[in-house]
């Protein structure tokens, strides 16, 4: 029935600031940038949508109880690259199957750098 992930959407209070963060600091290629939303290519056909909820009459609320896990080849290297671009991000943790580093976008939405190094069963 479900065949995959098409998009994940996060809210933004300042779309221009969010576009700069996702494009310039995280390096996600923009697909489209409009007045009310922007879309970024996550690879594998998945898209990250950033939406200005007030433009649709919806109150802003940051996503903090879940997260968007962004796959990288090397979490420690990605952390260093993001820190060099001014992103505040703590050291990675090792779960025994993956490396993860948790951080937030400028609106407080929860993000994670992720690399699974253990084979999936």
- Could you give the CA distance from residue 79 to residue 77 in angstroms, rounded to a whole number? 5
- Could you give the CA distance from residue 44 to residue 5 in angstroms, rounded to a whole number? 9
Kindly list the domain boundaries of the chain, sorted by start residue. Answer: 7-116
The fold adopted by the segment(s) 7-116 is 2,3-Dihydroxybiphenyl 1,2-Dioxygenase; domain 1 (3.10.180)
Could you report the per-residue pLDDT of 45-98, keeping only the tens digit for each?
899 999 999 999 999 999 998 899 999 999 999 999 999 999 999 999 999 999
**Is-above-0.85 flag for pTM?**
yes
């Amino acid at each position: 029935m479900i065949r995959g992930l098409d998009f994940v959407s996060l809210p933004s209070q300042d779309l221009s600031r969010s576009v700069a963060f996702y494009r310039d600091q995280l390096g996600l290629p923009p697909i489209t940038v409009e007045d009310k939303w922007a879309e970024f290519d996550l690879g594998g056909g998945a898209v990250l949508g950033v939406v200005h909820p007030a433009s649709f009459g919806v109150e802003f609320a940051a996503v903090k109880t879940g997260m968007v896990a962004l796959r990288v080849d090397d979490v420690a290297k990605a952390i260093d690259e993001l820190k060099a671009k001014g992103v505040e991000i703590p050291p990675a943790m090792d779960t025994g199957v993956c490396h993860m580093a948790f951080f937030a976008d400028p609106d407080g939405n929860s993000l994670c750098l992720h690399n699974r190094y253990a084979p999936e069963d």
